[in-house]
Amino acid sequence: MALDQSFVGRTYPPTPAYEVGREKIREFADAIGDANPVYRDPAAAKALGHPDVVAPPTFPIVISMPAADQVVYDPALGLDWARVVHGDQRFTHERPMRPGDRVVAVVTVDSIKSFAGNDMITLVTAMSTMEGELITTARALLVARAEAGSEEQA
Amino acid sequence: MTDVTDTQAGAAAAAGRFAVGAVLPAGGFPITRKDLVRYAGASGDFNDIHWNGRFAVEVGLPDVIAHGMYTMAVAGRVLTDWVGDPAAVEEYFVRFSKPVLVPDDGVGALLEVTGKVTKALDAGRVQVDLTVLSAGQKVLGKATAVVRLP
């Protein structure tokens, strides 16, 4: 089922602020197996010119993925969320996230396409501090795969 | 690593660690079910296909697959280890082209990551292209980063 093109350009309301935590950054770095001290030790981070420890480059997914749920589960859009897979992902960083950042995410529907029965929707999520400083922009392609039997599967 | 790659790496080191053509130190990363469970907890992505074999098979997958975002994060370690400061990675893109199957066999999967500087950009930045393989298959497509040089 082709999605409603009128959703292109639609911006969803800002998410409640997510406060980046020192231990959350450490937990995420541990989970990706990265022992870099810049994620854990303020002195190591300061040696590289940062005011405090920094988060790994893909950490913002912790914020952008739940923010995208607003779109994925929007009944008015009607995306077949049970069939959604992650097609691609881009992060454009103004700076790394740091402990104490209170981050608000704003999701915009960038494009909607349909190909071989697959619905493809690109979401752009701007993540900024509550003070309005843009930190990171995430761009994600989500694909709702065609129903088995409706079209040839890729 | 083949002799050809070693030769390229040697030439690149002579020309400069960050020059176009420079080869990044490669990485080999084992992935087990336990790693996926830990990443699920850290990231908040508890989709069953990343830990529940019964569910994965029910929805038509051969086995549990790694989170695409986990694969992206692990591959990114080759970038950040190379450049030193993770904040130097200004842009990072991947396409999730093939799933990384992680069997519950006591071994799991192996992610093999290589990278190369492919383009000089403005403002002291370069483009790096990554090649990310698991079980001989390219699992990430067009994996590219823009890195600010130190």
Q: Establish if B73 belongs to a structural domain.
A: yes
**pTM of the full structure:** 0.92
Domain positions in chain A are 5-21+58-144
Domain A5-21+58-144 is found in CATH 3.10.450.50: no
Note the pLDDT tens digit of each residue in B86-113. 999 999 999 999 999 999 999 999 999 9
Note the pLDDT tens digit of each residue in A73-127. 999 998 988 888 899 999 999 999 999 999 999 999 999 999 888 999 999 999 9
Which residues of chain A does B91 touch, with a Cβ-Cβ cutoff of 8 Å?
90-93
C-alpha closest to that of A85 among B95, B15, B52: B95
Note the pLDDT tens digit of each residue in A120-147. 999 999 999 999 999 999 999 999 988 7
What is the nearest CA distance from A37 to chain B, expressed in angstroms? 10
Note the pLDDT tens digit of each residue in A33-78. 999 999 999 999 999 999 999 999 999 999 999 999 999 999 999 8
CA distance from start to end of chain A: 16
Q: Does B69 touch chain A (CB under 8 A)?
A: yes
Which residues of chain B does A34 touch, with a Cβ-Cβ cutoff of 8 Å?
73, 77, 80
**CA torsion angle B72 B78 B84 B87 (round to 10):** -20
Please enumerate in sequence order all residues whose Cβ is within 8 A of that of A18, keeping only pairs 6 or more positions apart, or say none.
A62, A63, A102, A103, A104, A105
C-alpha closest to that of B47 among B62, B67, B28: B67
Q: Establish if B18 belongs to a structural domain.
A: yes
Give the residue-averaged pLDDT of B49-70.
95
Q: Establish if B138 belongs to a structural domain.
A: yes
**Residue B76 sits in which domain range?**
3-31+66-148
Which residues of chain A does B43 touch, with a Cβ-Cβ cutoff of 8 Å?
28, 31, 61-62, 65
What is the nearest CA distance from B75 to chain A, expressed in angstroms? 10
Q: Is the pLDDT of residue B6 over 80?
A: no
Q: Establish if B112 belongs to a structural domain.
A: yes
Q: What is the ipTM of this complex?
A: 0.94
Q: Is the pLDDT of residue B12 over 60?
A: no
Of A31, A66, A89, the CB nearest to B42: A31
Domains in chain B, number: 1
Where residue B132 sits, what CATH number does that domain have?
A: 3.10.129.10
Q: Is the pLDDT of residue A152 over 80?
A: no
Q: Is the pLDDT of residue B8 over 80?
A: no
